[in-house]
Amino acid sequence: MKTLLFALAACSACYPPAALAATPALDVRDVSKAGMPGKTFAATTSMPASVATVCAAIQDFAGYPQFMPNVDKIKVTAAGGGVSLVDVTLKLPMGEIKQYRLRMTPKVLDASCSLAWKLVPMEGLKVEDTIADTSGYWQLSPDPFDAGAAAVRYQVYTDPGPVPMGLGWIVDSMSRDSIPKMFDALRARVAARK
């Protein structure tokens, strides 16, 4: 028992409480449905900022290259009723470039915010220059365990289309592996807005 207590004390000396509590946990889960060609991932966490601050950050589409991994360029066009069409250019590993258009639909209430997106047709793109499908959403609400913080839920479905044999890791790079990087960059972006 003394050894265990010593080990715990030594461990806490290596990681001061402030460092351990600095970044809220991020839970990322594969929630893909069997038979679907793509993958779906859901992530939940808390952000040490108000819902309004986080909401403003995720609705700043022009700023996506600063916190969304692989996003190289963005072009935003208003579509009416608060909806935006967002043309996205991805710069992927091995020099791959993909383009697509998203219909972004925000919904802001007194204490919550959501943003849903769905792939929509974009003229002039060849099949090999785009992805097959993507959709998802952000849901923000006050964190019930941390006054002044936002509870964040993020879900994304991505079907990149045909992937050459042996390059399946690119799919993971575009989805599961990029989610923690995206949240780290979003945290920094939100902190700069406070």
pLDDT in tens, 33-83: 999 888 899 999 999 999 999 999 999 999 999 999 999 999 999 999 999
Cα 68–185–29 angle (5° rounding)? 70
Q: Identity (one letter) of the amino acid at 45?
A: T
Q: Is the pLDDT of residue 187 over 80?
A: yes
Helix boundaries (H) for 22-159: 51-58
What lies within 8 Å, CB to CB, of 45 at 6+ separation is 24, 25, 26, 27, 152, 183
d(CA 65, CA 194): 20
User: Is the CB of residue 79 less than 8 Å from the CB of residue 105?
Assistant: no
Q: Identity (one letter) of the amino acid at 184?
A: D
Rounded to two decimals, what is the model's pTM? 0.84
According to the CATH classification, is domain 21-193 in 3.20.20.30? no
Tens digits of per-residue pLDDT, 15-31? 334 434 457 899 999 99
| Token pair belonging to 46 | 């808390």
Q: What is the mean pLDDT of residues 1-14?
A: 34
For the chain, domain boundaries: 21-193
Of 182 and 3, the one with more pLDDT = 182
